[in-house]
Amino acid sequence: MISKKLSRLRRAQATRARIARLRAVRLAVHRTNQHIYATIISGEGDRILASASTAEAEVRTQLGGHGGNVAAAKAVGTRIAEKAKAAGIETVAFDRAGFRFHGRVKALAEAAREAGLKF
Please report, for the domain that includes residue 72, its CATH number. 3.30.420.100
Strands 93-95 and 48-53: unpaired
Q: Report the alpha-carbon distance of residue 40 to residue 59 in Å, rounded.
A: 18
> How many structural domains are present in the chain?
1
pLDDT at 92: 95
Query: Which structural domain, as residue segments, surrounds residue 108?
Result: 4-114
Question: Order of strands, edge to edge, in the sheet holding 93-95?
Answer: 48-53, 36-41, 26-31, 93-95
pLDDT at 66: 83
pLDDT, one tens digit for every residue, the chain (119 residues): 789 999 999 999 999 999 999 999 999 999 999 999 999 999 888 899 999 999 998 889 888 878 889 999 999 999 999 999 999 999 999 999 999 999 999 999 999 999 999 98
pLDDT at 22: 93
112 residue type, one letter: A
Concatenate the DSSP letters of all residues of 70-84 into one string.
HHHHHHHHHHHHHHH
Is residue 73 a part of any domain in this protein?
Answer: yes
Is residue 119 a part of any domain in this protein?
Answer: no
Is residue 99 a part of any domain in this protein?
Answer: yes
Max CA pair span of the chain: 45
H or E element in which residue 37 lies:
strand 36-41
